[in-house]
Amino acid sequence: MSVLKNFATGIGRVLKSPALILWVYSAGVLLALPLAHYLRGVLHGSFGASLVNENMRAGFDLSWYGEFSAGITGLGATFGPWVTGILPVLSNLQMLLDGQALRNSGSILLAGGTLLLLWTFFAGGILDRYANPDAPRARARFFFHCGEYFFPFLRLLVISLALYWAVFRWVANPLHGWVERATRDVTAERTVLLCTFAVYALTALLLALSAMVLDYARIAIVVEYRRSALFAFLRGVRFVLGNPLITSGLFLLLVLVGFVLLMGYAAVAPGPGQTTWGAVLAAFLVGQAFILARIVLKLWFLAAQTALFQAAQPVTFEAPTGAASSGSAQPERSPV
């Protein structure tokens, strides 16, 4: 098993199935359109064709925003100076590391929950495609496996949310509180920053480890034809702990790709102040290209980790009775 080999195999499998990228992207667009339409109505009702409209076209009207943010809740509260360029990405990352992702308004949680369910549904078909790269690329086969693995993946989603809650309930939040108490009388700002950074680093490490285990749990469900989400989760734990160097090496290499992508977007991402239709279109296209790149990276994670998991299999699994109806060779269930 080689990190670089599975890294290259992963992107090869992703590029071999470009339709999957479009499926995921289209699902995200369909989810975003009604939210964007609602937010447009909120903003139009706030400043319409007033002078604020002209100020917003030229940049950002902070005076108007002060009044707007004081009286808005729900989805409208997500609008602010941070919605352009790299700032939305950094804002979401901070929200994740602060444990605020589950404390949003109802509309945001509904949209986020819907997106998670869409990913959960598509994941079965995606992982089957990457686990069987030479199988026929029939749409019926893809959606068959989407439905086949949806409920085991849904149970894994519940486990993932429980892990996210546990990390902040018992690790991150207590440590943040301890840092605040311990540095209350510290005058050196550097000490406070280092302690806070250490807590964020530990939080990110635990979340990354959880994500890695859950990815391999989903892969185990598909590759080893498991039905128990709990046993699949334990299989993911065992696989990561049994292969710590190669699993973490592959994960870190893909994270590095994501970091390079983020830095590249930060360098070219347009900010507010697009005053012509051409500039607005260019800003839109740059943003959509970044979203597509993020989707490719997410699929790259799944494809590369699937290749690694399959390479580590000590035996060849045979299709169980009934699996042939889907047109795929699925493995028998294996013990944890």
- Please state, in angstroms and rounded to a whole number, the distance separating the CA atoms of residues 299 and 278: 32
Q: What is the DSSP string of 51-110?
A: HHHHHHHHS--HHHHHHHHHH--GGGGG-SGGGSTTHHHHHHHHHHHTT-TTSS-HHHHH
Mean pLDDT computed over 160-166: 93
Calculate the CA 190 to chain-centre distance: 32
Instruction: Kindly state the average pLDDT of the residues 66-94.
Output: 81
Q: How many other C-beta atoms can be found within 10 angstroms of the C-beta atom of residue 49?
A: 8
Q: In this predicted model, what pLDDT tens digit does every residue of 228-253 receive, in sequence order? A: 999 999 999 999 999 999 999 999 99
pLDDT of residue 100: 74
- Residues 102-140 have pLDDT tens digits of 666 677 788 888 989 999 999 999 999 999 999 888 899
- The answer to whether 266 touches 87, Cβ cutoff 8 Å, is no
Under the banding of pLDDT at 50, 70 and 90, the label for residue 160 is very high
